[in-house]
């Protein structure tokens, strides 16, 4: 079975569909016509459409990966840690979750979470994935693991052979891999952008080494690829629905896993979130992905959202789409649909012009030192900071000051706006913070999103800064019990994490966005307090 699309209650303006048909968009996209997104996008698009070839071109990886996995197993190396941000880790995470295969994903700078991944070193192989080869988080993980292997008694050569590298040809990481004697280097197709790379080496190498049979992903994608030049194909229909939603005031895409039973797709929204947010959130417009806990979670029936049920049916009576079919077809189908939606929105779906801003702020803060800020109040385990007017007139000395300030933040969300919760915490040990999304969404008619920092900076971070300026923001940071050095760098993980949070606050403050920053001096107690204030 390949992809199946169905929809309910969605009003598709007739001209959206006829325009795409008249312009022959389906066939031109399959033929990699780089002019589809206008003259300004043409040069980027001309080097970004290689994902259409991956169902065929990635096949050569399959035997190589099987041999490498057998080689690793022969040496007792059966635990795979993946260091990679955004497009370099989100796809393998969904693939492995769906297959029920363990994979440790490191896409954080939280010292506790990084330290927790550095266990069982005697059976660990680390996949270092970075397209650009210059991502600071991934480079820091590589350094930390290299030092940990040395500390565990491995000599330089043995330690190097614990690494498998995925990168683009000619990247600085390709050079580093050679210098450190990595066991294997997979050079990916440079004509595929990070968020479109699920079926490339970036998606397949970590998943296959962890134990997933990846060939069916390519088979199912290849079946869909055969239909993509046709009018009415399911991925085109999905793209039309996304674009029509935007045109008719549904510019939020509420994503929920709808599968049941064994073999169901798990966590697809986290991957699609990056694809949609980074591809469309620019030039003051975009589609905001809202990853829901379930089809009925708070926010699923919002007046400005299109509900998208992945691996399931639309919900009768609600403007919704259902996209069913196997994971390989889902990846390709959503990529194609996003490219089509990009044309309907009139943006370049292949660049991410605002992602660098927070990174540059972070670099500046790492050089100059962390900002010296005083909390406006300390309430139990929670220090309260704010900007963009969010603390104005709030009585923080009141016994329910935390509730009042959260109310003020919710009230600061403009019409058709959204609230983004951004948690620079440990997504395993502090997992309860994830409950804040639904707790806040219950109290507002606006969309509420949740992202773990710094991971979301490589995803919804683009939309926050490049999309419509209608966001309000809740940033959470936490005290660190034990810091971890980044070997041969002038900063530790805790400093890097704090600088990333401060750098993003700066980018949002520069846009005068309402921003509430809560620093938890005791993480568990602080999360309880914030959830309690919303209860």
Instruction: By CB under 6 A, name the binding residues for ligand G6P.
Output: 85-88, 130-132, 135, 138, 194-195, 278, 352, 355, 458
CB 246 within 8 A of CB 17: no
**Least distance (Å) between residue 49 CB and ligand G6P:** 16
**Least distance (Å) between residue 171 CB and ligand G6P:** 8
**Would you say 140 or 233 has its CB closer to ligand G6P?**
140
**Would you say 138 or 477 has its CB closer to ligand G6P?**
138
**Would you say 277 or 308 has its CB closer to ligand G6P?**
277
Neighbour count for residue 52 (Cβ, 10 Å): 21
Query: Which alpha helices (DSSP H) does 424-492 contain, by range?
Result: 436-441, 460-466
**Would you say 355 or 438 has its CB closer to ligand G6P?**
355
Q: Where are the beta strands (DSSP E) in 269-329?
A: 288-291, 305-310, 320-324
**Least distance (Å) between residue 346 CB and ligand G6P:** 21
First-last CA distance in the chain:
44
**Would you say 355 or 534 has its CB closer to ligand G6P?**
355
**Least distance (Å) between residue 81 CB and ligand G6P:** 16
* Selection from 449, 454, 277 nearest residue 354 by Cα: 277
164/127 Cα distance (integer angstroms): 5
Instruction: Work out whether strand 4-8 and strand 104-106 pair parallel, antiparallel, or are unpaired.
Output: unpaired
**Would you say 85 or 421 has its CB closer to ligand G6P?**
85
203/205 Cα distance (integer angstroms): 6
92/108 Cα distance (integer angstroms): 16
**Least distance (Å) between residue 347 CB and ligand G6P:** 15
Query: Which alpha helices (DSSP H) does 369-470 contain, by range?
Result: 401-411, 436-441, 460-466
3-class secondary structure, 471: strand
**Least distance (Å) between residue 88 CB and ligand G6P:** 4
| Token code pair at residue 414 | 């403009």
345/285 Cα distance (integer angstroms): 8
**Least distance (Å) between residue 194 CB and ligand G6P:** 3
**Least distance (Å) between residue 330 CB and ligand G6P:** 19
**Would you say 98 or 500 has its CB closer to ligand G6P?**
500
CB 163 within 8 A of CB 142: yes
Query: Which alpha helices (DSSP H) does 152-247 contain, by range?
Result: 156-160, 172-180, 201-210, 215-225, 234-247
**Would you say 188 or 337 has its CB closer to ligand G6P?**
188
* Selection from 535, 520, 523 nearest residue 436 by Cα: 535
**Least distance (Å) between residue 132 CB and ligand G6P:** 3
**Would you say 278 or 504 has its CB closer to ligand G6P?**
278
């Amino acid at each position: 079975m390949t992809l199946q699309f169905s929809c309910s209650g969605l009003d598709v303006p007739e001209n959206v569909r006829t325009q795409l048909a008249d312009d022959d968009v389906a066939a031109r996209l399959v033929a990699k016509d780089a002019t589809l997104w206008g003259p300004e996008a043409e040069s980027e698009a001309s080097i970004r459409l290689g994902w259409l070839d991956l169902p065929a071109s990635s096949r050569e990886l399959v035997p190589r990966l099987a041999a490498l996995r057998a080689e690793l197993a022969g040496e007792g190396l059966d635990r795979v840690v993946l260091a990679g941000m955004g497009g370099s880790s989100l796809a393998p995470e969904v693939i492995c979750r769906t297959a029920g295969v363990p994979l440790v994903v490191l896409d954080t700078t939280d010292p506790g979470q990084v330290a927790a991944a550095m266990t069982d070193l005697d059976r660990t192989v680390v996949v270092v994935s970075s397209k650009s080869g210059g991502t600071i988080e991934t480079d820091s993980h590589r350094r930390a693991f290299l030092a940990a292997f040395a500390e565990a008694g491995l000599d330089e050569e043995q330690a190097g052979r614990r690494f498998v590298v995925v990168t683009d040809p000619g990247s600085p990481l390709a050079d580093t891999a050679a210098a450190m004697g990595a066991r294997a280097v997979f050079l990916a197709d440079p004509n595929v952008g990070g968020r479109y790379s699920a079926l490339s080496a970036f998606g397949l190498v970590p998943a296959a080494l962890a134990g997933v049979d990846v060939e069916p992903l390519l088979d199912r994608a290849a079946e869909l690829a055969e239909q993509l030049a046709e009018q009415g194909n399911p991925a085109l229909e999905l793209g039309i629905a996304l674009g029509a939603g935007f045109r008719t005031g549904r510019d939020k895409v509420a994503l929920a896993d709808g599968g049941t039973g064994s073999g169901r797709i798990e966590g697809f929204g986290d991957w699609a979130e990056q694809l949609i947010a980074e591809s469309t959130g620019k030039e003051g417009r975009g589609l905001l992905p809202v990853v829901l806990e379930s089809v009925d979670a708070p926010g699923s029936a919002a007046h400005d959202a299109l509900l998208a049920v992945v691996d399931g049916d639309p919900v009768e009576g609600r403007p919704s789409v259902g996209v069913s079919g196997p994971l390989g077809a889902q990846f390709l189908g959503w990529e194609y649909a996003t490219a089509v939606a990009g044309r309907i929105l009139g943006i370049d779906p292949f660049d991410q012009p605002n992602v660098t801003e927070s990174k540059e702020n972070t670099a500046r803060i790492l050089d100059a030192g962390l900002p010296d800020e005083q909390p406006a109040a300390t309430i139990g385990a929670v220090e309260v900071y704010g900007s963009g007017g969010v603390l104005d007139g709030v009585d923080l000395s009141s016994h329910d000051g935390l509730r009042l300030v959260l109310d003020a933040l919710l009230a600061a969300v403009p019409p058709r706006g959204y609230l983004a919760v951004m948690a620079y915490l440990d997504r395993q040990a502090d997992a309860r913070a994830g409950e804040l999304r639904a707790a806040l969404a219950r109290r507002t008619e606006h969309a509420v999103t949740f992202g773990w920092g710094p991971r979301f900076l490589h995803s919804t971070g683009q939309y926050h800064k490049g999309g419509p300026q209608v966001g309000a923001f809740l940033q959470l940071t936490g005290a660190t019990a034990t810091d971890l050095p980044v070997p041969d760098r002038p900063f530790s993980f805790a400093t890097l994490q704090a600088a990333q949070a401060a750098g993003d606050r700066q980018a949002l403050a520069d846009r005068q966005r309402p921003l509430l920053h809560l620093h938890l001096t005791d993480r568990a107690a602080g999360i309880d307090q914030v959830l309690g204030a919303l209860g």
